[in-house]
Amino acid sequence: MSAEGLAFGIDIGGSGVKGAAVDLATGALATDRIKIATPQPATPNAIAETVATLVEKAQWTGPVGLTMPSVIVNGLVRTAANLDPSWIDTDAVQLFSLALGGRPVAVLNDADAAGLAECAYGAARGIEGVTLLLTFGTGIGSALLNNGRLVPNTELGHLEVDGKEAEHRAASSVKERKNLSYKDWAAQVTRVLVAYENLFWPSVFIVGGGISRESEHWIPLLGNRTPVVPATLRNTAGIVGAAMTAHNGIAP
């Protein structure tokens, strides 16, 4: 299958590889999402075989966009969070293209894909200036965009804030591990957001990750100056951003 106005995205994570066709007019999934468990160990060849199986199940014949929990520079994997260390310096574009019979592919960081999707179809649509998407989970993922144009691989979760990496201070995993109240955790998130807004002066923060579903409990407790809104595409954002990248050819 390959149809006018559709594109195909795959989101590769530590636990699952998920993919679907996306309606580029609306950002909605145009087909059911297919999910296959991430193989263990999550080596390049094992992931490539899983991707090929998923695309075959979807009967998709066009270009494919893929996200990874990695820094991607010129198609090369530079970090491998939740994947096998053998990914480091792998040419992911070449790997996936060969696994898919030589078709065009685009590969980008998963948070970057989510940021692109939120700017095109979600909470940041129509926002002028700088948008900063942050995903709160085990760590803090980030996507920095200016008028919808991506600055790739920002990795702002590793920025030092008051003597500690931002994600060691304010990831949702920190809240869980330390059993923090929303009030106490929001105070740590505020410190991180203030550091970011002093550097980038964003128009809006978009917050994602599982804890964004509970945003009414903690966003009102934040004390930074920039508006903070929850992501709207949630678990489809990676797929949508990957599909956009495959269609537009904007991979970093």
Q: What is the pLDDT of residues 147-156, one digit of tens each?
A: 999 999 999 9
- Asked whether the predicted pLDDT for residue 193 surpasses 70, the reply is yes
**pLDDT tens per residue, range 120-162:** 999 999 999 999 999 999 899 999 999 999 999 999 999 999 9
pLDDT score at 81:
80
State how many domains the chain has. 2
Per the domain annotation, does 201 fall within a domain? yes
pLDDT-derived band at 252, boundaries 50, 70, 90: low
- Residues 131 and 202 placed together within one structural domain of the fold: yes
Same domain, 204 and 167: yes
Same structural domain for residues 48 and 15? yes
At 211-237, the pLDDT tens digits run 999 999 999 999 999 999 999 998 899
Shared domain for 207 and 166, answered yes or no, is yes
Same domain as 100, residue 27: yes
What is 168-187 written as a DSSP string?
HHH-HHHHHHHT--HHHHHH
Distance from CA of residue 73 to its chain's centroid?
15
With cut-offs at 50, 70 and 90, classify the pLDDT of residue 248: confident
Are 155 and 230 contacting, i.e. CB atoms less than 8 angstroms apart?
no
The pTM assigned to this predicted structure is 0.93
Residue 197 and residue 241 share a domain: no
Q: What is the mean pLDDT of residues 15-39?
A: 96
Q: Are residues 97 and 163 in the same domain?
A: no
Type of residue found at 35: K
Whether residue 86 is contained in a domain is answered as yes
126: enclosing H helix or E strand: none
168: domain CATH number?
Answer: 3.30.420.40
**Residue 1 domain flag:** no
Domain residues for 33? Answer: 6-112+236-248
Ranges of H-type helices in 28-131: 44-58, 92-99, 110-121
**pLDDT greater than 80 at residue 249:** no
Instruction: Tell me the torsion sign for CA atoms 49, 54, 57, 59.
Output: negative
